[in-house]
Amino acid sequence: MKKKIIKLVETDITTLSVDVIVNAANSSLLGGGGVDGAIHRAAGPELLTECRTLNGCPTSEAKITKGYKLPARFVIHTVGPIWRGGNHEETHLLAECYRNTFKIAQTQHLETIAFPAISTGAYGFPVKVAAKIAVRETMIAAMQIPFLKQVIFVCFTPETREAYEEALQ
């Protein structure tokens, strides 16, 4: 059953030894607060140096870099939508973040991937809606990518964990 590849963990995403961790970045790709800040701190300054060569990233798209000092081999940086009430294509744009991230993972043959709850912090996206999108897009990706072994959803708050548990039911 494909659902089995999904795992929920409550930890700092920068501690995970997976093929790739996903960064909830902003369109500059030059760092910020939240999970973005934590990833840049843990990866070290070489990550910022590589990010500077990427010329930013539009909302809903994704770009890959090396992981540098992280235990993860790579980082896929994606830019989630800012929640503006729900009538500005937010759900579509967030789904695209997951799709574009999985596209890169497939091209690079990455088998284990860890996601933060993209857009649900500083960008204000309701976590219950976001968790449903994350789970739905992961189930679709799991059917399309035969070598995908594990998708970890990092639940940094108890509310986030509850939202993912509900979405998985």
DSSP 9-45: E-S-GGG--SSEEEEEE-TT-S--SHHHHHHHHHH-H
Closest separation in Å from C-beta 161 to ligand AR6:
10
* Nearer CB in complex with ligand AR6: 145/161: 161
Annotated catalytic residue within 19, 36, 90, 96: 36
Shortest Å, Cβ 146 to ligand AR6: 28
Instruction: Give yes or no: 12 in active site.
Output: no
**Measured from the CB atom, is 127 or 142 closer to ligand AR6?**
127
Residue that has been written with the tokens 């912090």 in this structure: 121
Which residue among 105, 110, 121, 152 contacts ligand AR6 (CB under 6 A)?
Answer: 121
In this chain, which of 70, 113, 116, 161 binds ligand AR6, going by CB under 6 A? 116
- The single-letter code of the amino acid at 112 is T
Q: SS3 for 50?
A: helix
- Please list every residue from 19 through 48 that binds ligand AR6, using CB under 6 A: 24-26, 32-36, 38
Residue 146 to residue 144: CA distance in whole angstroms = 6
* The pair of three-digit structure tokens given for residue 97, joined into one six-digit string: 């973040």
Residue of 65, 100, 119, 138 interacting with ligand AR6 (CB under 6 A) = 119
Q: From CA 122, how far away is CA 138, in angstroms rounded?
A: 23
Q: How many angstroms separate the CA atoms of 42 and 67, rounded?
A: 9
Task: Name residue, tokens 């770009």.
Answer: 63
Query: Which positions from 51 through 90 interact with ligand AR6, judged by CB under 6 A?
Result: 80
Interacting residue with ligand AR6 among 113, 118, 131, 163 (CB under 6 A): 118
User: Cβ of residue 80: shortest distance to ligand AR6, in angstroms?
Assistant: 4
Nearest to 19 by CA among 168, 147, 155: 147
Binding site for ligand AR6 (CB under 6 A): 12-14, 24-26, 32-36, 38, 80, 116-123, 154, 156-157, 160
Q: Could you give the residue numbers annotated as active site?
A: 36
